[in-house]
Structure 1
């Protein structure tokens, strides 16, 4: 039995509604990583769960999952935080897609982005992984790059600091003050994609302030 075969599809009466999105916040498990820049995707997932009035629970797949509707009769969000480390995010994401019968084009991955200035959110669908190992593994396991990404800017490391060390450090003091606003913006972007579509959300979040 293969890895994904352990996760049955829902029965017919459990099948998700058409307007359902799987939203995966990337990061590393464990309290020691919780405040790292690399975990900003999971921080956004926590922000969304708070807005929906729900909480993360252990799931049959190797993830913690929370579910809720943006509004009565509106889009449903299945929020997930993989229990795996960042570099092996693909297995849990593929298992979630199969369990909930969600197509790849209804997958939103929220992740940190070195090539975008801190306190900036950018949205895209498809494309390469840009050296981000979490995205690389998801693309491989899902068999497609054609999912939506909410790219949360963390900026480049200062001086000659190694990027791998930089992402595994907590946000600095000044960044921590601006972090709640950044998380709120990224959560707004997820909600906009689910409610209005990617193009409308891009027009909103990519427009000059």
Structure 2
């Protein structure tokens, strides 16, 4: 049985420490050796007898669906074995929320995956980054780097998110949701930024 775990982020050193790249951070904590592959970088690990493909797309965020479609088809992996790790500014910092499907909530990476892979019926692990920004500054915020205070809690967030990923592969969606989803009210949605251009962009 194979699983495809996709961490969303933007390629390049410029974006490494930005909030939008938390998906890359989580996957980096699960593997040390990465190979250059079509549409990104990949690491292959085993967990509880399962083959787990970790993918960091090298497209910009709003074209992430291309990489997901390619590797689902190439490896013949069903969508129920796909998990996307993504930042979420509608959740408090360090709050995690695992769901089996859902709306893109204005996230251009999820929007691209939905459009190119037949809808939103796949699991996603939302990693809260908070929404401490003024109206109209959403893009600046998600592409901004972690504050000193956030960095203090970042390692715990990454560790727990990584454990959630492995539990999804080893114990299934429902058991993992029961174990790892934490409480807390969702904050009011920030105003959505306009869609990025068709050539690909970081947001």
**Structure 1 length normalisation: TM-score?**
0.84
Deviations 1:34-85 (A, max 9, x none): 00000000100101114xxxx11111x21111001024xx222100000100
**Matching residue within 25, 28, 36 for 1:46:** 28
Q: Quick one: distance in 1 between partners of 2:98 and 2:29?
A: 18
In our comparison, the structure showing a higher alpha carbon Rg is 1
Q: Does 1:63 align with 2:40?
A: yes
CA separation in 1, counterparts of 2:53 and 2:140? 31
Displacement of 1:198 in angstroms is 1.1
Query: How far apart are the structure 2 equivalents of 1:144 and 1:78?
Result: 21
User: Which moved further from structure 2: 35-44 or 154-163?
Assistant: 154-163
The answer to whether residue 164 in structure 2 is matched with residue 189 in structure 1 is yes
Higher relative contact order (CA 8 A, sep 6+): 2
Deviation of 1:208 (Å):
5.4
Q: Which of the numbers 109, 119, 128 marks the counterpart of 1:153? A: 128
Q: What is the alpha-carbon distance in structure 2 between the residues aligned to residue 188 and residue 141 of structure 1?
A: 28
Deviations 1:12-32 (A, max 9, x none): xxxxxx2x1100000000000
Pairing of 1:72-91 with structure 2 (within 5 A): 74-91=49-66
Residues 21, 107 of structure 1: 8 Å contact kept: yes
CA-based RMSD: 1.5
2:9 is aligned with 1:31: no
- Name the count of aligned residue pairs: 184
- Given that residues 97 and 182 in structure 2 are in contact (C-alpha distance below 8 angstroms), is that contact kept between their aligned partners in structure 1? no
Structure 1 portions without partners, runs of 5+: 1-17
Q: Residue 146 of structure 2 aligns with which residue?
A: 171
Greater fraction of residues in helix: 1
The counterpart of 1:139, out of the listed 111, 114, 117, is 114
Provide TM-score, normalisation by structure 2: 0.87
Partner of 2:31, secondary structure, is helix
Aligned residue for 1:76, secondary structure, equals strand
**Structure 2 unpaired stretches of 5+:** 185-203
